[in-house]
Amino acid sequence: MLVLKDVCKTFNRGSANEKVALQGIDLTVKEGDFITVIGGNGAGKSTMLNMISGAFPVDSGLVKIGGENVTNQPEHVRAKRIGRVFQDPMKGTAGDMWIEENLAIAMRRGKRRSLRWGVTKDERELYKKLLAPFDLGLEDRLQTKVSLLSGGQRQALTLLMATVQKPDILLLDEHTAALDPKTAAKVLAMTDELIKEHNLTAIMVTHNMKDAIKYGNRLIMMMNGKIIYDVSGEEKAALEVSDLLKKFEVSTGEEFANDRMLLV
């Protein structure tokens, strides 16, 4: 579903702020894979997701999604194959527009946008049906401005917007990190349910090792712009947080000192 071949990216090349962000990323994601990504700050996790979604051109390497070479495709063109949920709940929705207008824009991802009316009656019924299982009461508030919703509600809506047109790949960039623990757990459970229900292929960046182990069928660890650990299947299911910490110490040769990654 997704193939990354030797992808490299250096930001601000040649300046004092030069930052090697990705150094030869190789990754093949099979259809139906749910991959969790962990790693310290600056390891390149978010950069990898942004690279897949086309936010910046890569220096070298190949990116294929759903069998198509998208390496040189601009962000908005390859968006038809990608669903995205960002860390910032404000980023995935248009606050000054209604819930149904946001959904209608997402409903037309990858389709030609014409001069037909933006939200149809049939759609409205569909949105009500899709929002109801979230149990947030959003189904009765279709004509409410999104800016009036809480962070958790906005993330739930963004999640629905990312999946309402089935994407080839769903990219979740620490999408629960800005939420309180209770809401985060709820949104995460919703995410898992949606992925299972629609058999989506997904990559989820997280700082929470327990979540990284609990969810998905494959786990990768990144460091300095490289994938340093890739585990799946039964081996992944048997992982413990202590295993990951050990793995990290072995590969860095130093004590694991990042508090954020230890948050459980």
Partner 1 sequence: MELLASILKNLPDAVSLGLVWGIMAIGVYITFKVLDIADMTVDGTFAMGGCIVASTVASGWNPIFSTLFAILCGMAAGLVTGILHTKLKIPAILAGILTMLSLYSVDLMILGGKSNIGMSQFGENRVYTILDKLAAALGTTAKTTNIITGIVLAVVIVMGLYWFFGTEQGCLIRATGINEAMVKAQGGNTDTMKIIGLIIANGFVSLSGALVSQIQRYGDVGMGTGTIVIGLASIIIGEVIFGTKCSFKVRLASVFFGSIIYRVIIAIVLLLGFNPNNLKLLTAVLVIAALSVPVIRGYIFERKRIRANMKKYEEVETDAGA
Which residues bind to partner 1, rule: CB under 8 A?
Answer: 53, 75-77, 79-80, 82, 84, 86, 90-97, 101-102, 104-106, 108-110, 113-118, 161-162
Three-state DSSP at 16 gives coil
Nearer to partner 1, 61 or 118 (CB): 118
Integer Cα distance of 34 and 203 in angstroms: 6
Give least dist CB 97 to partner 1, A.
6
Integer Cα distance of 144 and 128 in angstroms: 13
Nearer to partner 1, 9 or 78 (CB): 78
Nearer to partner 1, 92 or 225 (CB): 92
Nearer to partner 1, 93 or 206 (CB): 93
Nearer to partner 1, 114 or 242 (CB): 114
Element (H, E) at 191: helix 181-198
Give least dist CB 102 to partner 1, A.
8
Give least dist CB 172 to partner 1, A.
12
Q: Could you tell me the sign of the dihedral formed by the alpha carbons of 197, 198, 202, 205, in that order?
A: negative
Give least dist CB 211 to partner 1, A.
23
Integer Cα distance of 149 and 155 in angstroms: 10
Count of CA atoms in the C-beta half-sphere (13 A) of 263: 12
Give least dist CB 86 to partner 1, A.
7
Pairs from 190-196 (Cβ < 8 Å, separation ≥ 24): 190/134, 190/156, 190/159, 191/159, 191/215, 194/159, 194/160, 194/163, 195/34, 195/170
- Angle, vertex CA 24, rays to CA 12 and CA 201, nearest 5: 105
Nearer to partner 1, 37 or 104 (CB): 104
Burial of 115 (0-12, 13-18, 19+ CB in 10 A): exposed
Nearer to partner 1, 116 or 182 (CB): 116
Integer Cα distance of 5 and 63 in angstroms: 7
Total Cβ atoms within 10 A of residue 230: 14
Give least dist CB 55 to partner 1, A.
8
Give least dist CB 88 to partner 1, A.
9
